[in-house]
Amino acid sequence: MQLCVGTSLAIIVPTAVRSYRAHRAKGLVESRVIRSWTWPAVIGVAVGSVAAAFAPAQVFELAFVVIAGVIAAKLLIGRETWVFARSLPGPAAMTGYGFFVGLASSLMGISGGSLATMVMTLYGVPIHNAVATSAGLGVPITIAGTIGYLIAGLPHQALLPPLSVGFISIIGVVMIAPISSWVAPLGARLAHALPRRRLEIAFGLFLIAASLRFVASLLGA
């Protein structure tokens, strides 16, 4: 599982970069949020990477199911009135949110877009701005996560498949990253073209489908 998570983070690096550039071209990125969350998120990623060296695989599967399930519920059954405030909180809370997004992203093998989007919409940020900003935050998260999982996996190198460097599969990155980064701008354009509610439903259903995969794995274990 750790190899899957680390490889996922490495694959997302070029995807996150292209996605962020596509969203930024639309002028919807909240740069102040990225500045507030980048370093706390990187620290959270570092903590998650340390956990990768010691925690059992079930920890990562359970983290994905719980966090993705909460986000999906918010997207599918949440209402516009479900907000904490109509503006983003102060520096202390923003630091905490950044750390949580980075830690959860590192445990789940994602860029943090789903988590960051949920947090921002709870503070009144429009969904399209939240998605665009989350894409930008995904760049430092995935870079830090790739480095962290590479280092965390080195002590386990003898137990890992061939052509792996730490918890990063070179084969997985080479085969998937070029295609995923190529289609990232298409996804960004589609996100901006979809109405807010359709975007939320599509994202929520995707998270549920992904969560069910790990539920099946946990039950089988």
Most confident range (mean pLDDT) of 5-9, 74-78, 200-204 is: 5-9
d(CA 75, CA 102): 20
Query: What percent of the chain clears pLDDT 90, i.e. is strictly above it?
Result: 23
Instruction: Determine the 3-state secondary structure of 91 from DSSP.
Output: helix
Predicted pLDDT of residue 40? 93
Q: Is the pLDDT of residue 49 over 80?
A: yes
Please report, as a single letter, which amino acid is at residue 157.
Answer: Q
What is the per-residue pLDDT for 179? 87
pLDDT band at 221 (very low <50, low <70, confident <90, very high): low
Rounded Cα distance between 217 and 221, Å, is: 6
Residues 4-29: what's their mean pLDDT? Answer: 84
Q: Would you kindly state where each structural domain of the chain is located, as residue ranges?
A: 2-220
Contact residues for 92 (Cβ-Cβ < 8 A; gap 6+): none
**141/58 Cα distance (integer angstroms):** 22
Please give the DSSP secondary-structure letter assigned to residue 1: -
Mean pLDDT for the stretch of residues 22-29: 79
- Kindly provide the b/e burial profile for residues 185-196, where b requires at least 16 CB atoms within 10 angstroms of the residue's own CB: bebbeebbebee
Q: What is the C-alpha separation between 79 and 10, in angstroms, rounded?
A: 34
For 141-185, the pLDDT digits (tens) are 999 999 999 998 898 888 889 899 999 999 999 999 888 878 877
Average pLDDT, the chain: 85
Instruction: Name the region of 112 (left: φ>0; alpha: ψ -120 to 50; beta: rest).
Output: left
- Name the nearest CA neighbour of 68 among 34, 33, 118, 19: 118
